[in-house]
Structure 1
Amino acid sequence: MKILCVSDYVDPLIYNQNVKEVFSDIDLILCAGDLPMDYIDFIVSVFNKPTYFVFGNHDLKEYHLYHKESRMENSHFNRNFDQGFHGHGATYLGFKSFINENLTFEDPETGMKTPLLIAGASGTVRYNNGLCQFTDSQMKFKLLKMVPRLIYNKIKYGRYLDIFMTHASPRHIHDHEDPCHLGFECYNWFLERFKPTYMVHGHIHLYDLREERIGQYYDSTVVNAYAHYVIELPMKTTEKKDY
Structure 2
Amino acid sequence: MKILCIADEENKGLWDHFKKEKLEGIDLILSAGDLNPDYLQFLVTMGKAPVLYVHGNHDESYSFKPPLGCECIEDKVYDFKGLRILGLGGAPWYKPGKFMFTEEEMRKRVQKVKKDIFLKNGFDILLTHAPIRGYGDMDDPAHRGFLAFEELVQKYRPKYMVHGHVHANYGSAFKRELVHSAGTKIVNAYDKAILELEEQEYPKEGKTGSFLYDLYKQVTAKKEQRRFHD
| TM-score bracket relative to the smaller structure | 0.7 to 0.9
Structure 1: runs of 5 or more not aligned: 66-85, 104-114, 155-159, 237-243
Displacement after TM superposition at 1:23 (Å): 3.4
Deviations 1:183-209 (A, max 9, x none): 000001111111111110011001266
CA distance in 1 between counterparts of 2:36 and 2:73 reads 16
Deviations for 1:46-99, whole angstroms, at most 9, x for unmatched residues? 11311101111113112368xxxxxxxxxxxxxxxxxxxx55111101112122
What is the identity, as a one-letter code, of the residue corresponding to 1:98? Y
Aligned residues: 198
Question: Matches of 1:40 and 1:23 in 2, distance apart?
Answer: 13
Give yes or no for the alignment of 1:198 onto 2:178.
Answer: no
User: Is 2:69 aligned against 1:89?
Assistant: yes
CA distance in 1, matches of 2:110, 2:69: 25
The offset of 1:20, in angstroms, is 3.0
AA at the equivalent of 2:76: K
Q: CA shift at 1:123, angstroms?
A: 0.6
2:21 and 2:123 mapped to 1: Cα distance? 31
Higher fraction of strand: 1
- Name the SS of the counterpart of 1:164 in structure 2: strand
Q: State the 1:151 CA deviation.
A: 1.5
Counterpart residue type for residue 84 of structure 2: L
Q: Is 1:179–2:141 an aligned residue pair?
A: yes
1:27 aligns with 2:27: yes
| Alpha-carbon displacement from aligned partner over 1:103-122 (angstroms, at most 9, x marks no partner) | 3xxxxxxxxxxx11111111
Counterparts of 2:26 and 2:89, CA distance in 1 = 24
Closer, same or farther in 2 for the Cα pair 1:19/1:174, shift >3 Å? farther
TM (norm. structure 2) is: 0.80
1:150 shift after superposition: 1.2
In structure 2, distance between residues paired with 1:194 and 1:207:
32
Counterpart check, 1:166 vs 2:128: yes
Superposed CA offset, 1:132-186 (max 9, x none): 10011110110111112212222xxxxx111110000000111011110010000
CA contact (8 A) 1:55 1:63 kept: no
Q: Indicate yes or no: 2:16 matched with 1:54.
A: no
Partner of 2:99: 132
Q: What SS is found at the alignment partner of 1:180?
A: coil
Whole-Å separation in 2 of the counterparts to 1:175 and 1:127: 14
Contact 1:197/1:235 (<8 A) preserved: no
Partner of 1:222: 186
Secondary structure (helix, strand or coil) at the match of 1:171 reads: coil
| Cα deviation, residue 127, structure 1 | 0.3
Which residue of structure 2 lines up, in the alignment, with residue 82 of structure 1? none
Counterpart of 1:49 in structure 2: which amino acid?
Answer: A
Q: 1:120 aligned to 64, 72, 87, which one? A: 87
* Unpaired segments ≥5 residues, structure 2: 201-230
Look up the equivalent residue of 1:185 and give its one-letter code: L
CA distance in 1, matches of 2:97, 2:171: 30
Cα 1:87–1:16 shift into 2, 3 Å: closer
Decide whether the 8 Å contact of 2:40 with 2:67 is kept in 1. Answer: no
Q: What one-letter code is carried by the residue in structure 1 that aligns with 2:184?
A: S
Greater fraction of residues in helix? 2
Q: Distance in 2 between matches of 1:63 and 1:130?
A: 12
Residue equivalent to 2:196? 232
Distance 1:234 1:196 in 2: 14
Give how far 1:6 is off: 0.3
Once the two structures are superposed, the pairs formed by residues 58-73 of structure 1 within 5 Å of their partners are: 58-63=58-63
* Aligned CA-pair RMSD: 1.9
Distance in 2 (CA, whole Å) between partners of 1:212 and 1:122 is: 19
How many percent of aligned residue pairs carry the same amino acid? 33
